[in-house]
A and B are shown apart, each in its own frame.
Chain A
Amino acid sequence: MVEKKLNDTEIAAIFDAFVESREVKVSPNNQSRTFKILIVFANVYVLGFLLVYYFLKNNLLDAVDSNLMTEEYLILFDGRAQIMFWLLILLNMGAYFNFAFKALLLIALVYLISGTVDTLVLLSGLFSFADRPYFSIFILSRPLFIMTLIWMGLAFKDKLEDH
């Protein structure tokens, strides 16, 4: 009995047949409306707070939190702002190209929770929420942002999963 094997041309033809369906799955348009709203919200949230932070840093807003505007704490907020900015860029790219999005989301989530706990531990007792509006809104809205990221992960359609 002769064993029939596929040649390169035939294998390429089979791959070509699936290219279109893969492109449809990878496309950002394939994501649900919920996911799109959540990712827009996440972008607005992070960029909004980065903007407020840079305004405060450059004295463009009244620095109500004068004790938090010391060099040491500015380095802390600056570091967090830089890391969140790059995580946001990576998340957007991951979502657009549908590549490693969930892994990036997990990293962002872990970093966010760890950073929030660290900040609360280090700054606990040094300030009261009522006296520091910008900082308080930032800390108090964190659970909302964390929930958004978790929801994004659940709503995301991975190209490797069959939907």
Chain B
Amino acid sequence: MMIRKLGLSKLFWIALAFSYFFMMLAMYAILTLPNDTFDADNAEHVVAAVKLTYVRLSLVAVILVSYPVILFSSLKYAKYVTIALTAWAIAIYVDDYLVLYRIIEYPERGLVVFAQLIRPILLVSLLWMSFELTFTKSRAG
């Protein structure tokens, strides 16, 4: 009932569900890393990546809890928050692949590799959510 009241498309909710799935998968993959992860030759780079991911995940944890509250209380603020989160997700994606690629290296665990593989879909989902919240002006305006 509350969901219908917001008047957002099914695609928006699918994108939101995917974003939640991705963030929880990333948290699970990093928090349950096996002990032998840091035994690799490039251990320093893996440690740097994990350290960075811990900092980022602490913000993700806050987002997971607070986003529904913002979305259901004000579409206007949800729009700004979503745009900021999209900008952040794109910024860290660009950073990881264009700036930090010589300093960090994500663990070669299957789940982490899978999360990296579907990361562009997260960006597409967030972009869709940002555009939808921006262009449904009558409700989000």
Contacts and interface: CB of A to CB of B under 8 A. Distances in A.
Contact of A114 (B51, B88, B98, B103): B88
Place the interface of chain A in its size category: 10 to 19
Nearest to B92: A114
Contacts of B103: 72-73, 75-76, 122
Nearest to A77: B99
Contacts of A73: 103
Interface in A117-144: 117-118, 121-122
Interface stretch (A20-28, A45-53, A88-96, A102-110): A102-110
Contacts of A110: 84, 87-88, 91
A70 B133 CA distance: 44
A128 to B, nearest CB: 19
A interface secondary structure, majority: helix
A122 B84 contact: no
Contacts of B80: 106
Interface in B77-91: 80, 83-84, 87-88, 90-91
Contacts, number: 55
Interface residues of B, number: 21
Contacts of A103: 83
B95 interface: yes
Contacts of B52: 118, 121-122
A55 to B, nearest CB: 21
Contact of A121 (B51, B87, B91, B99): B51
A117 B87 contact: no
A79 B99 contact: yes
B5 interface: no
A79 B84 CA distance: 21
Nearest to B55: A121
A114 B84 CA distance: 11
Contacts of A118: 52, 55, 92, 95, 100
Contacts of A111: 87, 91
13 contacts: A73-B103, A75-B103, A79-B95, A79-B100, A83-B94, A106-B87, A110-B88, A110-B91, A111-B91, A115-B95, A118-B55, A118-B95, A122-B100
Given A121-B55, A122-B100, 10 more contacts: A71-B102, A72-B102, A76-B102, A83-B98, A106-B87, A111-B87, A114-B88, A114-B92, A118-B100, A122-B48
